[in-house]
Chain A
Amino acid sequence: GQSLEQPSEVTAVEGAIVQINCTYQTSGFYGLSWYQQHDGGAPTFLSYNALDGLEETGRFSSFLSRSDSYGYLLLQELQMKDSASYFCAARGGGYQKVTFGTGTKLQVIP
């Protein structure tokens, strides 16, 4: 089977930096993705790591360590609009099956 674990909730101050961790167990692992979902909205793609290391896209960065089965999403210069749920998702097992974590609800406070 496949499973991904994330903290359920994180609170951070506007302008600060926050890291959301994800540990995974999956067979035939291909890569780790991150999605953002606002309440009532659809998940939107943020980033993808196939190889170890850091990927940076604007204020968002994502890191992967395949040997540790671990990744994280780093959000810098937090804004109120970043308050949302964040999901890590692993591609593995069946070639096209993407399994999502249970999500981390981020609350940004003034």
Chain B
Amino acid sequence: DTGVSQDPRHKITKRGQNVTFRCDPISEHNRLYWYRQTLGQGPEFLTYFQNEAQLEKSRLLSDRFSAERPKGSFSTLEIQRTEQGDSAMYLCASSPDGTGGTEAFFGQGTRLTVV
């Protein structure tokens, strides 16, 4: 296992379409996080999973956003009815138990462009 993997790396979609991103964390990591990052800004927290349970969700995550981690391994982030403001880099990170989320290993991200 070489790290956190995200797919696709790039996605261009038309406004109003639905998109889904996938994240495969480091295999022994129980904790998984989704962040969104726009140019010149730090990553914004979106949601957090402990195994398959979604324990925290930012109010930034509107009802158009949903995330799942059905078997406590990979996770998906879906955005419905995309808007131009959704254009950003979507980052996934994972960490093992005991670090409290402070040492997170990030994937390379999925860059979403909504046209």
Closest Cβ–Cβ distance, residue B100 to chain A (whole Å): 6
For A2, the closest partner residue in chain B by CB is B45
Which residue among B4, B31, B42, B43 has the maximum number of chain A CB atoms within 10 Å of its CB? B42
| Contacting residues of chain A (19-41) with chain B, CB-CB under 8 angstroms | 30-31, 33, 41
Q: Which of B34-60 contact A (CB under 8 A)?
A: 35, 40-45, 48, 50, 55-56, 58
| Cross-chain contact A91 with B100 (CB below 8 angstroms) | yes
Q: Total interface residues on A, using CB and 8 Å?
A: 24
Complex-state Cα separation, A99 to B35, whole angstroms:
10
Chain B residues within an 8 Å CB radius of A102: 40-42
Query: Most chain-B Cβ atoms within 10 A of its Cβ — which of A44, A50, A95?
Result: A95
Interface residues of A in 71-110 (CB under 8 A from B): 87, 89, 91, 94-103
Interface residues, chain A, with chain B CB atoms under 8 Å away:
4, 30-31, 33, 41-45, 48, 50, 87, 89, 91, 94-103
B interface residues with partner A (beta carbon < 8 Å): 4, 31, 33, 35, 40-45, 48, 50, 55-56, 58, 91, 93, 100-109
